[in-house]
Structure 1
Amino acid sequence: MSSSSSSSTLCSVLSNLTAFVVNEGHGVKGLSDLGLQALPDQYIQPPAERITASTVITDDSIPVIDMSPENPQVGEMICEAAKKWGFFQIINHGIPLEALEEVKAATYRFFSQPAEEKKKHSKGNSPTTNVRYGTSFAPLAEKALEWKDYLSLFYVSDEQANSFWPSACREEALNFLKISEIVVKRLLEALMEGLNVKEINGAKESLLMGSRRININYYPKCPNPELTVGIGRHSDVSTLTLLLQDEIGGLYVRKLDGGDDDTWVPVPPITGALVINIGDALQILSNGRYKSIEHRVIANGSNSRISVPIFVNPRPEDVIGPLPELLDGGEKPLYKQVLYSDYVRHFFKKAHDGKETVDFAKLNI
């Protein structure tokens, strides 16, 4: 293609960016692949939403917890990290490195497909609401778009996954989701023990981990990465989130006791590690003892990046509120009882806005 033809194509795309990125299924990867020299205006974030060197702390980091059986303090370390940071990394967790590498390769494989293949799974085209390919977070609600494409896979059953999840990543995503379950249970057992909740069986297990969703995320190389974000400020609506990072990195966590409302700590990639964070649901269930923390992802001007989070959630029909075991001990509830599907709906109907969704569940005391 000649330079004049390429320039004409780029001008045509930019004149109707939504059609190209969203409707035609190219996503921001398609924009990046065009060889953009400047960030489109639609992706330029307000200065307050960008990370700058002055707001980043590089001499501190979230805890790294060794999950091996030889570590007798692992439970205490998990609970302490959940209270102080809301984030930590785990090593020696038992998930084979091969499985992690396979799901990363599958992520690249899915996003390298032509737009018409990916578009089959977008809103309005996907045969099920449990599989959704998209871009940014909430394009219709956002004043500035985020530099990210994603595929979201809500697990219902093996049968549905085999029928509807894309073949490019189905086997690897399903395997990662399944083999992570034993790690999830171990983490939740430690966290519940820290609340003096002794057993996670039946209804309690369903409340804590009754539904699961795995996303595969793609953050293309970005022109002017300092002007935009990969993901804006938010906390997850999950009970727990397990995140597999690649070697590029780009995740930042708000520091709770940084002495400044806008202090951020990078989460450096560690080979074979998983990043764990407390979600809003567990903050509410723990009556505020465990913290769901704002985090964000920067864009990268040199490399494309991927990540694979698993969101462990209550079931949509569950009601979340402070656990009875805590209130029976005399604690005053900080949060009201909320139907989890209502909570999630409130989160997804708006742009990323920090911790506003948790405020939606607070009692007016």
Structure 2
Amino acid sequence: MVVLAKGELEQISLPIAHKPGTFFSGIPVIDLSEPSSKTLLVRACEEVGFFKVTNHGIAMDLMAKLEAEAMRFFTLPQVEKELLGSGSPLGYGSKRIGCNGDLGWLEYLLLEVTSKPMSQTSLSYLKEPSASSFCSALNEYIMGVRKLACEVLELLAEGLNIQPRNLLSKLVMDEESDSVLRLNHYPPCPHLQGLNCSLTGFGEHTDPQIISLLRSNNTSGLEISLRDGSWVSVPPDQNSFYVNVGDSLQVLTNGRFRSVKHRVLANSISSRVSMIYFGGPPPREKLAPLPLLMEEGEQSLYREFTWCEYKRSAYKTRLADNRLGQFEK
């Protein structure tokens, strides 16, 4: 354990992590403009559960604009940041991840994604023109990343020979879809500079939703767990998106696609900023393996449950827990 000096995310104790390893070269990279992308997407979901997409259609200047707006927010005085989301799972938070004791060297802004544009009043405590500029960047980015999630899910449906093509994408595009955008800021941790170790930024976990799309700046820290249990470092790429299979998609495919465990290590020198869109289904949506994806005689690995049931259960767990365990048959 390490106790950090007061004044940096307050005085907290966090577990020391291992020193980051070399970057893993085996992460699938998929050009969405290529005709073969649907086949490659399916293979990536089956073999790794994690991949990078290029030619995604979201402008670089839009990603840079939202990153700048996010950093402008995170450099505000602590008391001003805490005005947003006090006492709520949404809004601003720091150090504590969830309500069950998980800690991380980060601060974050968690925002609900709906079919309607985000209202400027949700950021009204920020001085103008900051509120309108931040809100504009958020809305434009959310619109683009929802469209990208839809495209990836529809290509996956094609690759799986699922009809209709929007069977998966409609779950995250529904008016009641329970999706969120998370802006994470991992400040540099100079106390660790020169030491042969790192600090836990965000502990190991899987994402509960259907699909997650992540874009970060050029600072490393993200790691994924391979099928053999080993952890590998993901090379940063501020121009592309990394995509995670979520727990819900694992259920829908009866385990054919696997939700990958991942974590983030803090950096001793540079800030890391990540922007993650979590595409979730409507609260009352029933989740169970899709019969059209199951072979003759194949047994369902999961009992049917609603997204609301699963989300309620997940809130009671620690990050590293197997959240799907109680829904397995």
Identity of aligned residues (%): 30
Shift of 1:265: 1.6
1:208 to partner: Cα distance: 4.6
Say whether residues 1:181 and 2:146 are aligned partners.
yes
Secondary structure at 2:236's aligned position in 1? coil
Normalized per residue, which structure has more strand? Answer: 2
Residue 301 of structure 2: aligned partner: 334
What residue in structure 1 maps to residue 161 of structure 2?
196
The answer to whether structure 1 residue 231 and structure 2 residue 207 are counterparts is: no
Pairwise mapping of residues 33-182 of structure 1 onto structure 2 (< 5 A)?
40=11, 42-45=12-15, 50-52=17-19, 56=21, 58=23, 60-68=25-33, 71-124=34-87, 131-138=90-97, 140-142=99-101, 145-158=103-116, 161-165=119-123, 167=131, 169-182=134-147
1:316–1:339 CA contact under 8 A, matched in 2: yes
Residues 114-134 of structure 1: CA distance to partner in whole angstroms, max 9, x if unpaired?
A: 22221111333x6xx6x4111
Distance 2:201 2:58 in 1: 27
**Mapped contact 1:61–1:267 kept (Cα < 8 A):** no
1:64–1:327: structure 2 CA closer, same or farther, 3 Å change rule? closer
Displacement of 1:348 = 2.6
Deviation of the 1:205 alpha carbon: 4.1
Say if 2:314 is the partner of 1:312: no
- TM (norm. structure 2) is 0.86
Gaps of 5+ in 2: 125-130
8 Å contact kept, 1:322–1:335: yes
Query: May I ask how many residue pairs the two structures share in their alignment?
Result: 313
Shift of 1:330: 4.1
In the aligned structure 2, how far is the partner of 1:175 from the partner of 1:246?
A: 18
Tell me the distance in 2 between the aligned counterparts of 1:224 and 1:345. 37
The letter of the residue matching 2:188 is K
Deviation of 1:337 after TM superposition, in Å, equals 0.9
* CA pair 51-163 structure 1, distance change in 2 beyond 3 A: same
Q: Aligned partners of 1:304, 1:58: CA distance in 2, in Å?
A: 19
1:243 paired with 2:214, answer: yes
**1:171-208: CA deviation from partner (whole Å, max 9, x where unpaired):** 2122111012332122101222333312144x754435
Q: 2:27–2:51: 8 Å Cα contact kept in structure 1?
A: yes
| Partner-residue secondary structure (3-state), 1:101 | helix
Q: In the alignment, residue 93 of structure 2 is paired with which amino acid?
A: G
Relative to 1, partners in 2 of residues 1:82 and 1:204: Cα closer, same or farther, differing over 3 Å?
A: closer
Give, in whole Å, the separation in 1 of the partners of 2:111 and 2:223. 24
Deviation at 1:157, TM superposition (A): 4.5
Per-residue deviation, residues 72-112 of structure 1 (Å, max 9, x unmatched) = 21111111111111111111111111111111111101111
1:332 and 1:194 map into 2 onto residues whose CA distance is 22
Counterpart of 2:192 in structure 1: which amino acid? N
Alpha-carbon distance between aligned partners in 2 of 1:139 and 1:291, rounded to the nearest angstrom: 23
3-state SS of 1:169 partner: helix
Q: Is the 8 A contact 1:83 1:291 kept in 2?
A: yes
TM-score normalized by the length of structure 1? 0.78
Give the distance between the partners of 2:32 and 2:297, measured in 1 at CA. 33
